[in-house]
Structure 1
Amino acid sequence: MRIVFLRSNPVQPDPRVEKEANSLIKAGHEVSVVAWDRSEKYNVNMSYLDLKNGRAAIYRFGIPAKYGVGIKGNIGPLILFQFRLIQWLLKNREKYDVIHACDFDTAFVSGYLVKILKKKIIYDIFDYYVDAFNVPKILRNFIESRDHKLINSAEGVIICSEKRKEQINGTSPRRLAIIHNSPSFPCFKMSSLALNREKVKIAYIGILSEGRLLKELAEVIINNPGLELHIGGFGSLHEYFHELSSKHSNIIYYGKLEYSKTLELENSCDIVTAIYDPKIPNHYFAAPNKFYEALMLGKPIIMVKNTGMDEIVSKNAIGEVIEYNAISLEKAIENIIKRKTDWPEISIKMKQLYEKNYIWHEMERRLIKLYKSI
């Protein structure tokens, strides 16, 4: 089949989109991507994603907007993005058979168009919209009602953990696949960088925004010369960390990184963080990329109590589960360092958990099976 992924970020990178696209190419499908570049203004740029199993054409719309400000802060750009999606899907209707819509902000318009154009749709719920974003009360009921209709009408629905079945309670998907955010790279191929072995190195590469205790983490590192923070990604705090790294030698900022480089850097560090604000309902159901990456690489992880996967960290003693504040974060780092002699044993346990429950080979099988069924 000819499959087009729709995503409301630039896919530069987007690990989940890229590994799903790569797996579908491997299964013989033709894949393209339509994405939203919020960094600059232009009509549409076409290039290619070079994936392990082949190339995927990617069409990016340049519509300036901000990350992490909710619908209110981006209402104009969001509406324009919807119109651009409609135009592209109509103009290119002979180029695809299936729309793979990632999240409600691409599924909303494509859900209507598939009926008109007689196409199929797979609804991939990375984040349940009304729980994940700052949705005004006046729109909440409408969005949730429409979301449930999309879930019930799509050929297939994908969620990223068993726990997320609770979020879509009250719906009846025709087909439901659970595909975890597992890395698609085998850990035995991961190389390591030549970093300072005398220091404990903490890694965070992802969305650079408020609500992840990133500034607080940096403050802990700055005040402890025995620690280093290796941080990269994109978002509203990128300038903050770029400037901070120029002032402090133990804050190392990398900017945007390819996913393979992200894993290489994490593999070269000692501790990974996956910190989310538990006040946001969606974070209770979170399935963070960092959790799966830490498992695969065997790196102790820090998570927040009552955010997705925290119970696995606690149950297996493979890191620290904290309260959402700087004091608890600092204490967690100290506790992990105290267990330094246990790190090899923790690493083995984490890798075994990954291979038993989350390995990408199994997630790929589920994805290909879903597409075969439609």
Structure 2
Amino acid sequence: MILTNSFHPDVRVYKEAKYLVTKGFDVEILCWDRENEYINREVEEIEGIKIKRFFQYAKYGTGYKQIIPYIKFIKKCKKYLKNKEYQYLHCHDLDGVIAGFFCKSRNCKLIFDMHEFYEGQDRNQILKFIIRQLVNLMQDKSDTIIYVNEIQKTTMKQKNYDKLIYLPNYPESKSYIGCTKIQSEKLRVSYIGAVRQYNELKNLMDACKNIEGVEVFIHGAGTSYSKLKEIESNYNNVNITGLYHYSQSAYLYSQADILYVVYNMKINNWKISYPVKFFEAIITKTPIIVSKGSMLEEFLKDNDIGFVVDGNNVEEIRELIEYINSNRYILDEKMKNIEKIQFNFTWEEIVKNLYQIYK
């Protein structure tokens, strides 16, 4: 596998690799630890998964400044693989498959694991066009394409449909078995995951400020973590905890009465995505707040499992939280509805699709 992060671990990649190991495959992940977080762990093994890290330094979020280190990473991978025997090169995301294309041996199969809808990340039309062309090219060059939602198929060439394998990022049910809510007198509104959307999370903090009996928890690391942490002391009911290990996820959900899944709707990728935290909320029977205008809104309303809000409207968020806080019985009703679909979206079942590639 080729992965352009440090695998600490990347939960989706970890779950895929672990499944293949259980099926008897020898799996090695070549990682780009661009910020040198694991400089003392160049080589390690986790549950039978071999990890090899490369340390071409680059800072996340610096755009084009990362190109030269990225090219150096590709060269390192190519040199490393030169004398390796392998049948498959399983590449994660667009930057991973570009690296894989330049590294692959003549006889190996190239797998493009598309974790998201790449041209939906940017509003610049020229950049979106360039990304679309790169995605099309890599899909043409790949032997198999893994996708996570139907939107990814809308811009795909018809000839590549036969290459498709569906593998949405559902949670492992065994990681959440026995996850029961720890009771609290306070209403706990939680965000659990990558902390990237500064404005939306700050709006939540502002909306809940000084509401008696309400606490806000923001669990996770990301590009907006430091900025939010700097203003945490301005609030009397906000807890920003930072990076957590994936094994702690069930415990964090046991302390959450509501999960806040609100993103910037001007970014198409966030508008159309089904983040894993949405399915984690379902498996842990946690009612959900989602963005108006998101793909999640229709699903949420059809199943009556949560609430919808405009993430840019602080007053609207405040009114919703105050309403829920004064009518706690509503959460019990939502939880009963979640129970009906609680185990419909589990990794243990969907990961079997991966075996269609490697059988």
Structure 1 residues 28-47: aligned runs within 5 Å: 28-40=24-36, 45-47=41-43
CA distance in 1, matches of 2:332, 2:340: 13
Q: List per-residue Cα deviations over 1:304-349 (Å, max 9, x = no partner).
A: 1232322110111111122231233333334444552243342243
Structure 1 residues 156-175: aligned runs within 5 Å: 156-168=144-156, 172-175=160-163
Please name the residue that 2:77 is paired with: 88
| Equivalent AA in structure 1 for residue 108 of structure 2 | K
Give the alignment partner of residue 23 of structure 2, picking from 24, 27, 31. 27
8 Å contact kept, 1:184–1:361: yes
CA distance in 2, matches of 1:16, 1:275: 21
CA drift of 1:95 comes to 5.0
Give the alignment partner of residue 113 of structure 1, picking from 103, 113, 134. 103
2:133 aligned with 1:145? yes
Q: List per-residue Cα deviations over 1:187-243 (Å, max 9, x = no partner).
A: 65244686x711111111222223660111122233323111221222222223333
Distance 1:75 1:44, change over 3 A: farther
8 Å contact kept, 1:33–1:56: yes
Distance 1:16 1:30, change over 3 A: same
CA distance in 1, matches of 2:193, 2:132: 28
| Equivalent AA in structure 1 for residue 57 of structure 2 | I
Distance 1:39 1:91, change over 3 A: closer
TM-score scaled by length of structure 2: 0.88
CA distance in 1, matches of 2:158, 2:270: 20
Q: List per-residue Cα deviations over 1:33-88 (Å, max 9, x = no partner).
A: 2233343489895243634xx44324243523133xxxxx4212134123312321
| Equivalent AA in structure 2 for residue 210 of structure 1 | Q
Please name the residue that 2:113 is paired with: 124
CA distance in 2, matches of 1:66, 1:134: 19
8 Å contact kept, 1:218–1:229: yes
Q: How many residues align?
A: 357
2:51 aligned with 1:57? yes
| Equivalent AA in structure 1 for residue 188 of structure 2 | K
8 Å contact kept, 1:164–1:285: no
8 Å contact kept, 1:200–1:228: yes
CA distance in 1, matches of 2:224, 2:245: 19
Structure 1 residues 1-374: aligned runs within 5 Å: 4=1, 6-40=2-36, 45-48=41-44, 50-51=46-47, 54-67=48-61, 73-93=62-82, 94=84, 96-114=86-104, 116-133=105-122, 137=126, 139-168=127-156, 172-186=160-174, 189-191=177-179, 197-210=184-197, 213-246=200-233, 248-325=235-312, 326-337=314-325, 340-356=328-344, 358-372=345-359
| Equivalent AA in structure 1 for residue 272 of structure 2 | F
Secondary structure of the corresponding residue to residue 146 of structure 1: helix
TM-score scaled by length of structure 1: 0.84
Secondary structure of the corresponding residue to residue 174 of structure 1: helix
Distance 1:87 1:43, change over 3 A: farther
Q: Which runs of 5+ in 1 are unaligned?
A: 68-72
Distance 1:49 1:292, change over 3 A: farther
| Equivalent AA in structure 1 for residue 60 of structure 2 | K
8 Å contact kept, 1:99–1:110: yes
8 Å contact kept, 1:121–1:155: yes
| Equivalent AA in structure 1 for residue 69 of structure 2 | L
CA distance in 2, matches of 1:249, 1:50: 40
CA distance in 2, matches of 1:50, 1:242: 31
Q: Which runs of 5+ in 2 are unaligned?
A: none
CA distance in 2, matches of 1:168, 1:334: 45
CA distance in 2, matches of 1:9, 1:146: 20
CA RMSD of aligned residues (A): 2.8
Identity of matched residues, % = 24
Please name the residue that 1:70 is paired with: none
Secondary structure of the corresponding residue to residue 42 of structure 2: strand
| Equivalent AA in structure 2 for residue 11 of structure 1 | F
CA distance in 2, matches of 1:337, 1:120: 54
| Equivalent AA in structure 1 for residue 101 of structure 2 | G
CA distance in 1, matches of 2:159, 2:251: 40
CA distance in 2, matches of 1:140, 1:44: 38
Decide which structure has greater strand share: 1
8 Å contact kept, 1:319–1:336: no
Moved more, 246-255 or 362-371: 246-255
| Equivalent AA in structure 1 for residue 318 of structure 2 | E
